[in-house]
Homo-oligomer: A and B are copies of this chain.
Amino acid sequence: MDKLFEVFDTDLDAIEIGAAILGTGGGGNPYIGKLRCRLQLQQGRRIKVIPIDELRDDALVVSLGGIGAPVVGVEKIEQGEECLRAVHALEDDLGCKVDALISSEIGGANSMEPMLTAAQAGIPVVDGDGMGRAFPEMQMCTWSIYGHRSTPSAMADEKGNIVIIKNTRNEVWVETLARANVVAMGAAAGIAMAPMKGSYVKKVAIRSTITQALSLGNSVLKAQRDNTDPIAAVLAHEDGRLLMTGKIIDLERHLKGGFAVGHIFIQGFGDFSGDKGQIDIQNEFLVFHRNNQVEICVPDLIVVLDVDTGLPITTEVLRYGQRIAVLALPCDDLLRTPEALKVVGPAAFGYPEVTFTPMPSSKNKEGKR
């Protein structure tokens, strides 16, 4: 257990920035979660992080996150123990204690919830997650993609309601039923799901993503302090590629079936003068087109940053006239297999005609394994 490390108050700003970048426009805003983590630390609780390889093979690990509409998550502040009650409800259902929590998605708000809940529960949070980014639906977690059932899943809201999704026909039904419940609960709830053995987590989790978010966020903060280019810092940190710098010249965005759906249109400037860019959105940024040709698509990460500050711009705060940098960052190899592409490739998002071509990456993430 001496291999555990802690997240301190001074790390939270960096994790917030890194997680928001990995959210690729979605995943919810980690800001409020950050404040709540800070409060926990001020109250004397500790956020202990366990590297994946330190997990016992028979440890019971549970995937944790908030579920709901990101915009509601900002406007309706959580009561604060939704996720903790979800963990306890799952423990009751399983008849045993959970050893560690793992984030369902590092991108966005669900970077903070597992740290927060682990601090409340007095157990460690795993340095890893199920997406390495953000995706809009739960069956898009690696544990689900690689064959694990997410049931039983326990949901809890701020009112004291608790629902257990005990068994489902398939993984998509977990998402469908959880979504129906969270809408009834008021569009925000905590969900603890997919109880797993440590040995399985070692196989399928995206590794070291808390560390990654922290270090990525710190690289942006350092560039800001040093007055160097934060975009370049992100690209260097993630082995990414600058797709375009430009101005948002048009924006279509609406809510459809609980998702933020739309397109942004970009007029390139600088090195990209004359280029026209388009990004398609379903909560996250899905597909980047240059001059009407698809160039980058899910599961690789499309990231929109403010061109001056390097801070991420999420889909809900996009607006006409913003000056942005569009980056492509390589996703983890675990999202590039045929099994994964069935669930998180372009066809799964309504682009059957688009073939995912992995963006080149000198390291991909092997270095992390």
Answer yes or no: A56 CB below 8 A from chain B CBs. Answer: no
A100 to chain B, nearest CB (A): 23
Contact B177 A181 (CB under 8 A): yes
Partner of A161, one of B92, B159, B168: B168
Partner of A184, one of B154, B161, B169, B176: B176
Q: Could you say which of A92, A166, A168 has the most chain B C-beta atoms within 10 Å of its C-beta? A: A166
Q: Could you say which of A92, A164, A176 has the most chain B C-beta atoms within 10 Å of its C-beta? A: A164
Q: Could you say which of A89, A93, A165, A167 has the most chain B C-beta atoms within 10 Å of its C-beta? A: A167
User: How many residues of chain A are within 8 Å of chain B by beta carbon?
Assistant: 24
Partner of A173, one of B161, B164, B173: B161
Partner of A164, one of B160, B166, B176, B180: B166
**How far is it, in angstroms, between the C-alpha of A154 and the C-alpha of B159 when the chains are bound?**
20
By a CB distance below 8 angstroms, the chain B residues around A154 are 166
**How far is it, in angstroms, between the C-alpha of A160 and the C-alpha of B166 when the chains are bound?**
10
**How far is it, in angstroms, between the C-alpha of A160 and the C-alpha of B185 when the chains are bound?**
23
Contact B160 A177 (CB under 8 A): no
By a CB distance below 8 angstroms, the chain B residues around A164 are 93, 163-164, 166
Answer yes or no: A60 CB below 8 A from chain B CBs. Answer: no
By a CB distance below 8 angstroms, the chain B residues around A160 are 167-169
Answer yes or no: A125 CB below 8 A from chain B CBs. Answer: no
**How far is it, in angstroms, between the C-alpha of A180 and the C-alpha of B183 when the chains are bound?**
8
Contact A180 B173 (CB under 8 A): no
**How far is it, in angstroms, between the C-alpha of A141 and the C-alpha of B173 when the chains are bound?**
30
Answer yes or no: A162 CB below 8 A from chain B CBs. Answer: yes
By a CB distance below 8 angstroms, the chain B residues around A161 are 165, 167-169, 173, 177
With A180-B181, A180-B184, A183-B180 as known contacts, state yes or no: A162 contacts B173, CB within 8 Å: no
Contact B162 A163 (CB under 8 A): no
Contact B173 A159 (CB under 8 A): yes
By a CB distance below 8 angstroms, the chain B residues around A159 are 169, 173
A169 to chain B, nearest CB (A): 4
A301 to chain B, nearest CB (A): 31
**How far is it, in angstroms, between the C-alpha of A160 and the C-alpha of B92 when the chains are bound?**
22
Interchain Cβ contacts under 8 Å between A and B, 17 examples: A92-B166, A154-B166, A159-B169, A160-B168, A160-B169, A161-B165, A161-B167, A161-B173, A162-B168, A163-B166, A164-B164, A177-B181, A177-B185, A179-B184, A180-B183, A180-B184, A181-B181
- Additional 10 contacts, C-beta under 8 A, given A161-B168, A162-B168: A93-B93, A93-B164, A159-B169, A160-B167, A161-B173, A163-B163, A163-B164, A163-B165, A177-B181, A180-B181
The 3 closest A-B pairs by CB, nearest first: A180-B184, A164-B164, A162-B167
